């Protein structure tokens, strides 16, 4: 499948990410339909001109017409949907997703999928701490990373189409990783940080702390407003990589604690200088 | 001392906080002078109209004229300055500071200070990850907290003048805490978060991570760009309270890790819902 202006796009799941995709693609003149869970989302999407057609039903026509189907649902919902409904795809359909872990999703979907359709997995590294279509906004894709995780089962054409989708959505950097590299990276950059933010919010319940907080604490806990269902699923699907990164963090945190305990100012300062230097690599590129 | 338009203000140390104070106070018509370490800071402050007079010398006239002296220097520099130079203060001068830890500073300064001047300690809970006068900006005080930590040695008038200063600087919320309450609170809200940010930057040195980062990781590590000299001093001055909060964090983080390891989705989700609910308390009030 080549991705071009005639591509008929179906989005399954119109939440904060699916909604952003729909708005971005519709604005650029693509035909975008959607199947989603709740009628209020359907109403919102139609009212805001985000999609051509939207329904809560398993609309066989919409599925059959689609050349590109984007799953923007929880990983377990995605896998079950494929099992239950893949007989409805037209031959040659390209399937992609937005799932935050890959190892336990890509292999399973590719192994159960019909051989006349292709699944190419991608992870848009952008989100919001609130869920639901009304919080969707394609602006969050600008300046953000979009990672494609192809396997030996993918075609060159499928990979290209998936990358083209990332470009059209406005992502700043499109890259390729293996599912394993992706999951290791995401365990550190995203899952570990969510575990830390949640812990900061639950480890100290002293009253009135909010009256004295500064921006540092606010920044470190912004993502502690978390979709508990989705993230517990993501954590468990990536358990070995996440546990490894949590241990790596605990070890270094304990080392730094020991330095403070010993009053080893020299080594504390060396660690902080290293952190300062390394952090500058992670500055957001100017849009 | 009453704080009013005729108050002659001397700022010792024109860095990112002292500079913000100077700009805010000068803009509102106060007479602000400064003594600071480097000539380039003096030149910058004069050129940008931040102060009336600025010098790198221990200018006895500026000190004698001052009714209110604000120390915006490192804690150890502050204490040494008082020891060496307090004979230059005029009787009745009010001294305040911006120091991020209180227990080890307030008692010591008040115990060595001449009895005809008063020291009332305050902590402006606003800062920037870069240091130096050129990064100073009084806008960071808006919406932020300003905490006064009086002791039995302070007068009602001195406390009032210090709170008035916070108001004039534009802080959104002025409150009082004991030095001990302050240090316990700051160990959690500020020092622990800086230790976490530094650890995130030093625990995993895999190459290319910056290519794939999203905003969560950027948010959690913004403060890893850290002034190593100042923060190591602050950590060590507040060692017992900080070590306690680091242990509290490690315990809860390990509990959450165990839940993931056991696959206890129910308790993971309960923890995340608690984090989400508690985080909403910490949203920044609208300016």
DSSP symbols for chain B:
---STT-EEEEE--SHHHHHHHHHHHHTT-EEEEE-S-HHHHHHHHHTT--SEEESS--HHHHHH-SEEEE-S-HHHHHHHHHHHGGGSPTT-EEEE--S--HHHHHHHHHHS-TTSEE-EEEEE---SS-SGGG--GGGGBT-EEEEE--TT--HHHHHHHHHHHHHHTBSEEEE--HHHHHHHHIIIIIIHHHHHHHHHHS---TTHHHH--HHHHHHHGGGS--HHHHHHHHHHTHHHHHHHHHHHHHHHHHHHHHHHHT-HHHHHHHHHHHHHHHGGGSPPP-
Cβ separation A224–B253 shorter than 8 A: no
A18 pLDDT higher than 80? yes
- Rounded CA separation B34/B13 (Å): 7
Task: Pick the residue of B17, B123, B193, B206 with the most A CBs within 10 A to test the interface with A by mutation.
Answer: B193
* Structural fold of domain A182-282: 6-phosphogluconate dehydrogenase C-terminal fold (1.10.3660)
Please tell me the predicted confidence (pLDDT) of residue B211. 84
Interface of A with B in 231-250 (CB under 8 A): 231-233, 235-236, 239, 242-243, 245-250
Locate CATH 1.10.3660.10 in chain A: 182-282
- Judging contacts by C-beta atoms under 8 Å, the chain A residues touching residue B228 are 268-270, 272-273, 276
> Closest approach of chain A CAs to the CA of B167, in angstroms?
16
Q: Please determine, looking at this structure, whether the domain spanning B8-177 carries the CATH number 1.10.1200.10.
A: no
- Rounded CA separation B2/B16 (Å): 26
Nearest CB among B215, B226, B263 relative to A275 is that of B226
Cβ separation A197–B251 shorter than 8 A: no
Nearest CB among B203, B214, B261 relative to A189 is that of B214
The whole-number average pLDDT for the span A52-73 is: 97
Percent of chain A with pLDDT over 70: 98
Please tell me the predicted confidence (pLDDT) of residue B202. 98
> Closest approach of chain B CAs to the CA of A30, in angstroms?
27
Cβ separation A216–B196 shorter than 8 A: no
Please tell me the predicted confidence (pLDDT) of residue A215. 85
Interface of A with B in 246-285 (CB under 8 A): 246-254, 256-257, 260-261, 263, 265, 268-276, 278-284
Please tell me the predicted confidence (pLDDT) of residue A149. 97
User: How does pLDDT run across A202-254, given as a tens digit for each residue?
Assistant: 999 999 899 888 889 999 999 999 999 999 999 999 999 999 999 999 999 99
Cβ separation A276–B177 shorter than 8 A: no
Cβ separation A250–B252 shorter than 8 A: no
* A224–chain B Cβ distance below 8 A for any pair: yes
Please tell me the predicted confidence (pLDDT) of residue A130. 72
> Closest approach of chain A CAs to the CA of B255, in angstroms?
9
Task: Pick the residue of B102, B132, B196 with the most A CBs within 10 A to test the interface with A by mutation.
Answer: B196
The whole-number average pLDDT for the span A267-272 is: 98
ipTM: 0.85
- Rounded CA separation A282/B209 (Å): 8
> Closest approach of chain A CAs to the CA of B53, in angstroms?
32
A108 pLDDT higher than 60? yes
**Per-residue pLDDT tens listing for chain B (287 residues):** 889 999 999 999 999 999 999 999 999 999 999 999 999 999 999 999 999 999 999 999 999 999 999 999 999 999 999 999 999 999 999 999 999 999 989 999 999 999 999 999 999 988 776 788 999 999 999 988 899 999 999 999 999 999 999 999 999 989 999 999 999 999 999 999 999 999 999 999 999 899 888 889 999 999 999 999 999 999 999 999 999 999 999 999 999 999 999 999 999 999 999 999 999 999 876 65
Task: Pick the residue of A17, A199, A218, A250 with the most B CBs within 10 A to test the interface with B by mutation.
Answer: A199
pTM score, two decimals? Answer: 0.84
Please tell me the predicted confidence (pLDDT) of residue A214. 82
* B189–chain A Cβ distance below 8 A for any pair: yes
Locate CATH 3.40.50.720 in chain B: 8-177
A143 pLDDT higher than 90? no
Please tell me the predicted confidence (pLDDT) of residue A286. 64
Nearest CB among A209, A216, A283 relative to B193 is that of A216
- Compute the mean pLDDT over every residue in chain A, rounded to the nearest whole number: 95
């Amino acid at each position: 499948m080549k991705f071009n202006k005639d591509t008929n796009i179906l989005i399954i799941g119109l939440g904060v990410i699916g909604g952003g995709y729909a708005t971005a693609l519709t604005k650029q003149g693509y035909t975008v339909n959607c199947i989603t869970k709740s009628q209020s989302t359907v109403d919102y999407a139609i009212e805001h001109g985000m999609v051509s057609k939207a329904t809560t039903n398993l609309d066989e026509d919409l599925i059959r017409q689609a050349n590109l189907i984007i799953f923007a649902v929880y990983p377990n919902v995605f896998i079950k949907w494929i099992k239950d409904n893949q007989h409805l795809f037209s031959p040659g359909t390209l399937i992609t997703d937005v799932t935050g872990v890959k190892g336990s999703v890509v292999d399973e979907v590719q192994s159960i999928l019909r051989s006349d359709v292709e699944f190419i997995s991608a992870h848009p590294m952008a989100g919001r701490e609130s869920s639901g279509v009304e919080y969707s906004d394609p602006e969050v894709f600008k300046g953000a990373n979009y990672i494609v995780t192809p396997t030996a089962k993918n075609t060159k054409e499928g990979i290209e189409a998936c990358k083209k989708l990332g470009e059209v959505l406005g992502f700043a950097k499109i890259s390729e990783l293996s599912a394993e590299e992706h999951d290791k990276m995401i365990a550190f950059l995203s899952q570990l940080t969510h575990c830390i933010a949640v812990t900061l919010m639950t480890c100290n319940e002293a009253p009135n702390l909010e009256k004295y907080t500064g921006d540092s604490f606010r920044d470190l806990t912004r993502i502690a407003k978390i979709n508990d269902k989705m993230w517990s699923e993501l954590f468990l699907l990536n358990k070995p990589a996440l546990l490894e990164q949590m241990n790596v963090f605990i070890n270094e945190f304990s080392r730094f604690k020991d330095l403070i305990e010993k009053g080893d100012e020299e080594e504390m300062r060396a660690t902080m200088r290293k952190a300062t230097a390394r952090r500058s690599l992670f500055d957001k590129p100017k849009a």
